[in-house]
Amino acid sequence: MRKKYRAIVFPVLLGSLLTACSSGNGTGQAGANEGGVTPTPPAKPGEPVELIFYSTSGEAEESFNGKFGDTIRAKFPDYKISYLRQEPGSMIPEVIMTGRRVDIVYNVFDYVLDPLLNSGIAYDMTDLAKQHGVDLTRFEPSVLDGIRRAGDGKLYMLPTSLQVPMVYYNKNLFNKFGVPFPKDGMSWEEMKATSQKLTRKDGDVQYLGFVGSQQYALKMTPFSDPYLDEKTGKSTFQRETWKKLIETIFIDTDANNGMKDYVIAKKALPNRLGFTNTQDVAMLHFHSEFPAAVPKDLEKIDWDMVALPTFPELKGVGGQATAVAMSITSMAKNKDAAMEVIKFLTSPEAQTANSKKGMMSVLKDESIQKAFGSESPFKDKNWKGAYYNKLAPISYKSTYELQVERVYTGAVLDAIRGEKDLNTVLRETAEKADKVVDELKAANKK
């Protein structure tokens, strides 16, 4: 069983997440670490049901409503759906300390683990899902396997949408420099050649051919390397596959030191605004929910998308999927009502509606997959590219995922700067990651 540690830092990321407290909530239901589950009595007729959702991403309430809130209220008009987000004064530890309740936590699943497990609010939903007739065989198996593996076999959450890595490209820049558009099925060698043609100085503007995302490259690696070895708990960052990934995505795609000079000057990689706003990024490595997340930004450019390139030894494998997932907390007042809402969000009805909007379904249903993006404002785009590649197995996710990821993403910048050879960067980064984990474990024992 995982232990809590006290030094908790919560990231602000795209997506959303969750919250809560102790299992002594008067529901009669077992907590996260207890054996059986006694069903919570359903609300009595006329008794109000309120479900409080919590997002650690800090996304606006308008965004929550557009993704989930309005749909849930339409389906459950008698339920009061409330929303709380991470912000100063409402961080998870503060929420717990002040006795406030959170019923459902959501975000990309490996970022749900941290607050659930390390704040003591995790709840094993296995028996509850069974009691409510949730057919787990309908879900994408790699995602459920990843969730269970991360939870020591327990079902601490259910996925509501998938995300896979994609490449978005600005058609205007390709036309400007006379470079053919990228296509589904490219190799990384082909991507390297295309990126290098587009990484150039034109007047006072430095254009960058391809910008990789540290976060998505690392967490969605097609080699399925975990950040920490599942058996030893030690860093895996000296593996040759990490070296190959960083060289291929972040170093080889550069030309004339365009990216290197940018990183040295800015001390960071360009973000998505370099693609949509300043428009000096020709191709952006991002996740498949990008168009649904920020449609207003993407309206600014003429763009399209293609599947992520592949490595020769992993032919046809683009990367791992991740999933936005929802977790019922141990402090949830009405777990049955919470499960009914999550059951609805994972139903063919809701999954089809979201697929049409541009959110990949968690269900193994080809008819739902074929509807992907069909009612998006960008319905003419290459939505099928999201399903072009095979998925890599989801790697093991540890309790210390977020803390280790911060160490690894910093190493990508060190590698691009080139002040040390890559083997040295990987070794020093692995040592730093191990030290961070050791410190967290030591704090745990106090």
The number of beta carbons lying within 10 Å of the beta carbon of residue 98 is 10
Q: Which long-range contacts (CB under 8 A, 24 or more apart) does 267-272 make?
A: 267/413, 268/413, 269/211, 269/212, 269/213, 269/214, 269/412, 269/413, 269/416, 270/208, 270/211, 272/297
How far apart CA 275 and CA 289 sit, in angstroms, is: 16
Quick one: which H or E segment has residue 319? strand 317-320
- For the ranges 61-75, 85-99, 203-217, 389-403, the lowest mean pLDDT is seen at 85-99
How far apart CA 369 and CA 329 sit, in angstroms, is: 30
Percentage of the residues of the chain whose pLDDT score is greater than 90: 76
Residue 147 has pLDDT above 80, yes or no: yes
Give yes or no for a contact between 395 and 221, defined as CB atoms under 8 angstroms apart: yes
Give yes or no for a contact between 170 and 295, defined as CB atoms under 8 angstroms apart: no
Confidence class for position 15, pLDDT limits 50, 70, 90: very low
pLDDT in tens, 73-120: 999 999 999 999 988 888 888 898 898 999 999 988 888 887 788 788
Amino acid (1-letter code) at residue 119 = S
What is the biggest distance separating any 2 CA atoms in the chain, rounded to whole angstroms? Answer: 70
Residue 311 has pLDDT above 70, yes or no: yes
Percentage of the residues of the chain whose pLDDT score is greater than 70: 89
Give yes or no for a contact between 240 and 338, defined as CB atoms under 8 angstroms apart: no
Confidence class for position 14, pLDDT limits 50, 70, 90: very low
pLDDT in tens, 315-354: 999 999 999 999 999 999 999 999 999 999 999 999 999 9
In three-state secondary structure terms, 414 is helix
What is residue 348's predicted lDDT score, i.e. its pLDDT? 97
What is residue 108's predicted lDDT score, i.e. its pLDDT? 86
What is residue 313's predicted lDDT score, i.e. its pLDDT? 97
Residue 355 has pLDDT above 70, yes or no: yes
Asked whether the whole model's pTM tops 0.75, one would answer yes
Residue 13 has pLDDT above 60, yes or no: no
Confidence class for position 382, pLDDT limits 50, 70, 90: very high
pLDDT in tens, 17-32: 332 232 333 333 333 3
More confident residue, 105 or 4: 105
Residue 286 pairs in a beta bridge with 166
Residue 35 has pLDDT above 90, yes or no: no
pLDDT in tens, 271-294: 999 999 999 999 999 999 999 988
How far apart CA 76 and CA 258 sit, in angstroms, is: 53
Q: Tokens in use for 5?
A: 């540690």
Residue 396 has pLDDT above 70, yes or no: yes
Residue 46 has pLDDT above 80, yes or no: no
More confident residue, 212 or 40: 212
How far apart CA 352 and CA 430 sit, in angstroms, is: 43
